Amino acid sequence: MKQIKNSKIGWIGTGVMGASMFGHLLDAGYKGYVYNRTRSKASLLMEKGAEWINNPQLVAEYSDIVFTMVGYPSDVQEVYFGESGLIKGISKDKILIDMTTTSPSLAKEIYEAALSAKAYALDAPVSGGDVGARNATLSIMAGGEKKIFDKVLPLLKILGKKIVYQGKAGAGQHTKMANQIIIASTMIGVCEGLLYGYKAGLDPEIMLESISGGAAACWTLNNLAPRIMKGDLEPGFYIDHFIKDMGIALDEAKRMNLVLPGLKLAHELYLSLKAGNYGSKGTQALIIALRELSGLTA
């Protein structure tokens, strides 16, 4: 296999997180190829030196390692198994790394398809949102063959701060499901805490100064509570995508005979936001649903 430092990198998906992530690899000096459904969203990456490629199959043919960071499992399915998909373009020793949050079963399907072409695949979803992507501080959880994880680790270290090998194919996605389950209930707690402080007449910034240094401290409190207080509901992570993730987790939980009432509640609250046309807002927009339940207008 070619040495990582000489590898040609392909990237598919240049959304809120993907563009920043691929930008870090280009800044590190890697030769890069890019494809996205909307070409204009790749323009800044092309200015950095990435070469536009017309479809995923060609990205796989030109690249040694291909990263994908798209929206939904259906998008992953199309990118990998579509008429001009990645699987049709891979050959011996090429590596596919899907960083989308998708189903563990799809991750295993990609792994098996790559193996049949004597290539390799990792599922490596991330956590940390737009801030983590911009600052290269993402948490990356990977599943697949350990030797392939070890090989691409230098690339993952360019993208994230906490990178952990979780086990066989699909293990990365299962870990991300656990991550999303925890975030779902945490977001409810953060929003409810802010509402309580507001109704109690507290200064929210002074309140946060105290509780962010105690047992309530967490990423959501530190990063999203300030956005909520400013009325900033723009996405670091889309509600639509979070609903997708929670749906996957609920399906997996059902398959394992697990009852997760906290996750179910969060899912229902976010579905109400989607019904109110907030699906393109950030997950912190949960504050709207909880304000409405308490009859608050501000």
Mean pLDDT of each 10-residue bin along the chain, 298 residues long? 84 95 97 96 96 98 98 96 98 98 97 98 95 96 98 98 98 98 97 97 96 95 95 94 96 97 98 97 97 86
Residue pair 102/69 in contact (Cβ under 8 Å)? The answer is no
Residue pair 142/149 in contact (Cβ under 8 Å)? The answer is yes
Distance CA 31, CA 65 (A): 11
| Residues paired with 143 in a beta bridge | 123, 167
- Sign of the CA dihedral 159, 164, 168, 169? negative
Distance CA 117, CA 114 (A): 5
Residue 135, both tokens: 């600052």
CA distances from 130 to 8, 17, 19 (A): 25, 5, 10
Instruction: Mark whether 157 is an active-site residue.
Output: no
Q: Taking Cα atoms as reference points, which of 120, 164, 110, 106 lies closest to residue 138?
A: 164
Q: Which residues contact 268 (CB under 8 A, 6 or more apart)?
A: none
Catalytic residue among 94, 108, 151, 176: 176
Residue pair 64/7 in contact (Cβ under 8 Å)? The answer is yes
Q: Which residues contact 295 (CB under 8 A, 6 or more apart)?
A: none
Report the pLDDT value the prediction gives residue 236, as an integer from 0 to 100: 87
Q: Taking Cα atoms as reference points, which of 265, 235, 269, 272 lies closest to residue 250?
A: 265
Chain-centroid distance, C-alpha 80: 17
Report the pLDDT value the prediction gives residue 2, as an integer from 0 to 100: 63
The phi, psi pair for 200, rounded to 5°, reads -80, -5
Angle at 155 between CA 150 and CA 157, to 5 degrees: 85
Residue pair 172/107 in contact (Cβ under 8 Å)? The answer is yes
Report the pLDDT value the prediction gives residue 70, as an integer from 0 to 100: 96
Distance CA 241, CA 275 (A): 14
List of domains in the chain: 4-169 (3.40.50.720), 174-293 (1.10.1040.10)
Q: Where are the alpha helices (DSSP H) in the chain?
A: 18-27, 43-47, 56-62, 73-81, 104-116, 129-135, 146-159, 171-199, 204-211, 219-223, 225-230, 239-255, 261-275, 286-293
Report the pLDDT value the prediction gives residue 1, as an integer from 0 to 100: 57
Q: Taking Cα atoms as reference points, which of 106, 110, 27, 108 lies closest to residue 66?
A: 110
Distance CA 240, CA 268 (A): 13
Distance CA 80, CA 54 (A): 15
What distance, in Å, lies between the first and last C-alpha atoms of the chain? 58
Distance CA 178, CA 25 (A): 28
